[in-house]
Structure 1
Amino acid sequence: MRIVRLALLLCDEIYTTPSAIKDARGEYAHIFRQFLSASLRQITTEVAFTLDAYDVVHDMAYPPDNVHYEGILIGGSRASANDQLPWVIKLLAYIKRVVADRHSLKIFGACFGHQVICKALGSPVEKGEWEVSVTTIHLTSIGRALFHADKLHLQLTHHDQVTACPPHAHLLGSTDIAPNQGIVIFEPASAHLLECLESTSISRSDALRVPLTSIQVFTFQGHFEFTEPIVRQLIPEFADELGPELVEDGLLRIGTPTDAIDKVGRVIWGVLGVTAERDHVRTRARL
């Protein structure tokens, strides 16, 4: 049986021992394990994984270079990617280094993870309006090719946002409030395929197949790892910042089914090379 070894960077104390998350479904590393397990079960029972957590805030601990991981996940935080804190500065430098030097290592980000990855790679991160609860994300051509859908529904809890794509990144989707809801960066060796991905000269009857394993960086502003019970308890904790109208609206939408496990989880595992034969990036002209 293949064992996929993954590392999780814990980016805030609130996500290691938050009352709302612990009450809803355990600590943050457990939440990621549950998400990864649920999405993996839909693909295969012939693969297992390990997930090692590193506290990058208090311990400033990172995966050792001599330990082989296939992927690194960066989760949420109350901190901002713009904070001039020693641990944030170190995290930005770490991301920049591993993306530049280790092309076979897959990097995944959720919420703050999305923001700090994009910041490390050259994108601005700015304050914006709050987005909470299940939100509709309208996909770009590459997003539609990845997820075989026009839109996704994910749990969101953020007001910092990435306002542009890093160099060599491709936008996955947007909302009315946040124009950058996620990115992918393909490995440098796939550059010749990427010209075709966005070409308008390809016949509409032609399809291009790009392996998901050619993706090096995959991020979403949404919390693909969060479930309804978690966000249901988190929203009241942010009530003073959200205001009563946004709290009420968020709680009304919170039970909407999301695409986290079925679609986002499938792509994450596909990037790691765990994929059904049908799972690939398929794109046509003018997608």
Structure 2
Amino acid sequence: MQNEKCPEIKMRLAILMTNTDESDFAQAHPKDGEKFTTLIQEQRPDWDCAVFSVKDGEFPVDIQEFDGALITGSPASVHDSDAWVAQLFELIRDMDRHAVPVFGACFGHQAIALALGGTVSPNPQGWVHGYARTDSVGDLPWCARPAQVGLYASHIEQVVELPEGAHVVSSGPDCMVGGYVKGRHIFTTQYHPEMTDSFIADLVEETEDYVGAEVTEAARASLKNTADRDVFGKQIIGFFEWATKH
């Protein structure tokens, strides 16, 4: 099935926004719902994306009314005891039971793993921040891809044990589980395909006091490289089209 071209199908996706940042910095930039909508519509302009601020308790009434879902990143931890995190985990388990196609990025990647029985722990090497070159592991059944893909990153926790039935499909610096697939309905990345070049540059400066000078300097230097946004955007689109077909 490698390289098979799926016919373009107009889809309706639910974007489950988990980003809890309400700072002045956040207000001055597009929210994650808008970022992911843009990423999707760069590839499929006619796809409909409905944004749900799950971090504020706003969830879809019936997730099965959608063709699939995306779970965004967040400065929150998947180990937080907030009610919305527990509700999101229940929704993830429901989507898994009903094989609803779902893509998770960063927090979303970790939340899916933890909700389905995996383990998320602090990265022993500390922050992965800025640009990261990730290695493709094995094949994706819905598309061909290069041996390496560059993506933007900002995380200090990572998946260290996968849920039953999942397998690694990408690996990055200090992050063995850079992305995984489970069945025909789950695809994830620890990284941030939605971030633009300008946004990650601003984020690196904004977070200097939080992550520290050494991490920030390394991140600045890494940004001489740019992410393969179009390449990974096609992977996400291909996943939803393939999952829907199968």
Question: What range describes the TM-score normalised by the shorter chain of this pair?
Answer: 0.7 to 0.9
TM-score, normalised to structure 2's length? 0.87
For 1:70, the equivalent position in structure 2 comes to: 67
For 2:198, the equivalent position in structure 1 comes to: 229
Matching of residue 80 in structure 1 with residue 77 in structure 2: yes
Paired amino acid for 2:194? E
For 2:3, the equivalent position in structure 1 comes to: none
1:234 to partner: Cα distance: 1.2
What is the rounded CA distance, in whole Å, between the counterparts of 1:171 and 1:268 in structure 2? 16
What is the rounded CA distance, in whole Å, between the counterparts of 1:134 and 1:119 in structure 2? 25
Paired amino acid for 2:20? E
What is the rounded CA distance, in whole Å, between the counterparts of 2:51 and 2:108 in structure 1? 14
Matching of residue 218 in structure 1 with residue 223 in structure 2: no
For 1:123, the equivalent position in structure 2 comes to: 118
Segments of 4+ in structure 1 off by > 6 A?
none
Are the counterparts in 2 of residues 110 and 220 from structure 1 also a CA contact under 8 Å? yes
Give the structure with higher Rg (CA).
Answer: 1
1:136 to partner: Cα distance: 0.9
1:20 to partner: Cα distance: 3.4
The correspondence for 2:17, drawn from 1, 4, 10, is 10
The aligned length equals 234
1:3 to partner: Cα distance: 2.9
Matching of residue 268 in structure 1 with residue 236 in structure 2: yes
The correspondence for 1:93, drawn from 90, 93, 114, is 90
Paired amino acid for 2:189? F
For 1:20, the equivalent position in structure 2 comes to: 25
Unaligned runs of 5+ in 2: 1-7
What is the rounded CA distance, in whole Å, between the counterparts of 1:20 and 1:228 in structure 2? 16
What is the rounded CA distance, in whole Å, between the counterparts of 2:185 and 2:112 in structure 1? 12
SS in 1 for 2:174: coil
What is the rounded CA distance, in whole Å, between the counterparts of 1:137 and 1:36 in structure 2? 21
What is the rounded CA distance, in whole Å, between the counterparts of 1:146 and 1:164 in structure 2? 26
Deviations 1:71-117 (A, max 9, x none): 101001111111122111111111012111x22x2101111010001
What is the rounded CA distance, in whole Å, between the counterparts of 2:58 and 2:182 in structure 1? 25
The correspondence for 1:160, drawn from 133, 136, 157, is 157
What is the rounded CA distance, in whole Å, between the counterparts of 1:232 and 1:113 in structure 2? 22
